[in-house]
Amino acid sequence: MKPAPPAPTLEQLRRHSPWCWVVCERCLHRRPVAFVPLIIRFGPDASSNLIRRSARCTKCGGKGATLQHPGWLAWISDGSRSRENKLQRRPLSSQLALL
Ligand SMILES: [Zn+2]
């Protein structure tokens, strides 16, 4: 069996987008998270698995999350433009609050 490819580093993810959705594995609550504060804290070569393992949900308190690139919303919500717009408008203002 082939070993799974290594998880991308925080810096590799940041090159594609300055932020991503962190989605709770238990209740699917999600929150936009900017990479720069994480890179300052853990370093650019830190594995993105760090976030997957240690993220704690602010809604249900569950530990463990998946990362979702913001661009992926485009094909997840195809045909529902109003929903897509709503989802894409929110993170920008939330992200500013984080910075
Ligand atoms: Zn949750």
Residue 73 pLDDT: 53
Rounded to a whole number of angstroms, the CA Rg of the chain reads: 14
CA 19–ligand 1 middle distance (angstroms): 19
- Write down the residue that tokens 């997957």 correspond to: 52
CA distance 65 to 82: 26
69 or 25: whose pLDDT is higher?
Answer: 25
Residue 25 pLDDT: 93
CA 5–ligand 1 middle distance (angstroms): 27
Which residue blocks in the chain are alpha helix, DSSP H? 10-16, 35-42, 49-54, 73-76, 81-98
- Please choose, from the candidates 23, 38, 36, the residue with its C-alpha nearest in 3D space to the C-alpha of residue 73: 23
6 or 37: whose pLDDT is higher?
Answer: 37
Question: How do residues 40-89 score in pLDDT, each as one tens digit?
Answer: 999 999 999 999 999 999 999 999 999 998 875 544 444 444 444 444 44
CA 66–ligand 1 middle distance (angstroms): 11
Lowest mean pLDDT among 34-38, 70-74, 95-99: 95-99
CA distance 14 to 18: 5
CA 65–ligand 1 middle distance (angstroms): 9
